[in-house]
Structures are given as C-alpha cells and as structure tokens.
Structure 1
C-alpha cells in the first residue's frame, strides 16, 4: 500500500511539472523547445525507472500462479515490502518447505534490521557470508539458535515448533493459556500458546499442533503477516547494534 501511494505521488508530481512546462512551450524559441523536449524525455525515463523499481514487486506478488486466496494478502504484503521473493518469477513456492536460513532472512527484514549493522562472518561455520547478517542479528537477540554451537543447518527445513519460537521471541508475544495439544513439549509451550492466543495459528488438529512437522512457505508468510499486523516493527525496540569482527 505504501508503495502504491509513493507511485501515485511520483506520477502526480511528474504530471504537474510537465503540465506547467507545457504552458510555456508554445512561446519558446526553436532552440528552447529542443532543450525542453530533451528535458521532458529525461524526466519521463527517470519516472519510468523508479516506477519499475517500486511497482515490480507488486506485480510479482500478483502474478504468482501457486498462491491461493488463503495466502494472497500475506504473500502480497511480504513481497511488496521486500521481505521475501518467489522461488521463480511465476511461483512463490507456497507448498514448499521453508529453509531455516530463508526464515532468518525474512524475519530479520520484517524487523527492519539493516545488514550493515551486523557485518562479519557468522559464528556458525555453515552460514553463507552474504546472509550471515540475518543469522548474526537474530542469534544475538536470542530469537534463533543453531543446531549446535557451530552449525546453523541453513538448508534444513524449519519446523512448526521452531517457527513458533522465532515469531514469539521476535514480536515479544505474551504467553497464552494452557494448550490442548499433546505434542507440545516444555521447550515450545510458551511460544505455541502465545501464537494461539494472538490468533496467529492453531493446531493441525484439535489435539496436535504438529510441532515437528515442516512449515511451508505459504504458512510462514501467513503467520508472519498475522504476527506483524498487531506488532508494527516501528514500535518494537531495535536490536542493540554490536559489530562482529
């Protein structure tokens, strides 16, 4: 929505400017007219370039062929905000399992964490350098952990239980009431109850949350969308910036 407003303002400004210049165009000399035409051409090219950058993600979000009505609004917002991309130009990968590293990057972006604030290699030896900033930031804030002290397992599938821990800690969601699920252990109890309390998600059945089940990209987009709906990132205390050497 913010990008749509920005696009409208951009083109409205261009229209007003060109209209103003057009009024004096007929009274100009031939040489002045040539300069004016070149100037207006550059203005329109610049506006078109900015329009493409701003509107590109909106178009992409609307053209995924595998995003149904259930996930459409969530995917549209996450893609439009630049938090996540599709697996290709026509598919979001709605039913594909979400990788742990992808989840870290998406959440870090949703919290408006700047990559430049967390430079340096990760303490985990298996995290790619270009995405280490996201893992560094979330790990330092206690939002996400590795599988071991040296391995993050970036390509491993994120489970529903891990998803609950990440979103509850990232958005500081308060604990809910006692759960009816029989597959939620002590480690996940607070996080799962918080998500249920906030109406972010419920169980796979009335008795099972599916703690160890893999979470799909569409589900994660929907849960993150619901989590940040009532928790504007601008109201969340920013992480303490500590440069990692």
Structure 2
C-alpha cells in the first residue's frame, strides 16, 4: 500500500510481507526471543550499539550470501515503480544489493543503505551500460534535500530499528525527502503469519532475533549463525505510528 507525501508526515501504511524470502542455504526456521533496548531488558540499552551489533555488522558480514538469495524483485514493488511517471526521481531507502534500482528504466532511482558491503554488490551487479547510483547513508539522517524526490520505497528496512521512536523517525525522515503529493511505499515484516513455519501469529513476541545461517561445506567449516534484530508489526501498528 502507498502513503501520499503531505506537508506534515501522515501515518504511514505498510505493505505486510507474508514471509521473508528464504533459500535452501539460508536456514531461518527458528527464532530466539530478545526484547530490544526499548524494553530495558537488554544488557546494552543503547539502541545505536544494539543495532550496530544485531543489524549493521550482520549484514556487512553476510552480504554476499544474503545477496545471492535476494535477486528477484517483488511484483508489488515493481508494479508500484511501473506506475510512476517517466522521469520521476525515486529514492530506495535501505536498497541493500540494489535489486530494484535497474528494474524501471523510465525512472531515476537513487539507492541508500548503511551497508557498504551490500552497496558494493549493487554496483557489481549492474550490466554493461547500466549504473546503480547508490550512497552510504543512515536512514535516520538521509542526505537528501527536503522534498527533493517524487517518490520513495523502503522495503524490509524499518523493522530493523529497535525502538518505536527510531522506527517513527526513520519513516518521518523518508517522508521529509519526498515532495508534497509524492508517494512512498513501505514494507515491514508482519506478526500475523498464520501457518508460518516460524509460528508467528497474533499475540506472539514482536521483538526477535532471527538467525541467518550459512551452511558450512560438508567435511569443512562449521555452520555460521548470525542473529538479526526484527520488530514484527502487528496489524494496524504502523498506521497508528
């Protein structure tokens, strides 16, 4: 679903992802519960340090393996991009390996991400004659001029911020970069996933560490497990923010 950009940031609307993408080599079938620093139960109450350890460092470490499982654009996102007028300037906030940056040649797409390792892969993935325009940037401090963009997408990013205030700030920062009358598409992970192999559903824990497992080669190195922080949005929560 889409959020129109207004002079004052409105309540954003989420596209709710039914399942994160997975592959046979990325085993994410179990979760370990961990409340984020906002709850006061984590030994490190500083959200910057918490996210550095459980988000940014993890993605820099797993970037090549993660990118190999994130190459197919989601149709709902490409349909949104295809609906935008030719020549529109579109921000991809948290673009990761840049899989959407080259899917809409009628648009000017600019990607930003906290992970230099993922951005390097976005550049390497460009075909001859193509260029992925990307920059390293924190979603809480985007370097774009206010109201400079015609639209923005933010796909599976906001749920990595570990406090409600930081999640709201990330969305407000993005909305401030889009002109009045522009559109913003936001996707987050949903709590209500009835039938999910992870067992996530209404009433469950919303703040989790989700393991990303890189399988070791047979007879070689052991499996590597990296824990990523997620806030699972209950239905209507993002709109309430």
TM-score in terms of structure 1 length: 0.23
The structure showing larger relative contact order (alpha-carbon pairs under 8 Å, at least 6 residues apart) is 2
Of Structure 1 and Structure 2, the greater helix share is in 1
Of Structure 1 and Structure 2, the greater strand share is in 2
Q: Which has the larger radius of gyration?
A: 1
TM-score in terms of structure 2 length: 0.23
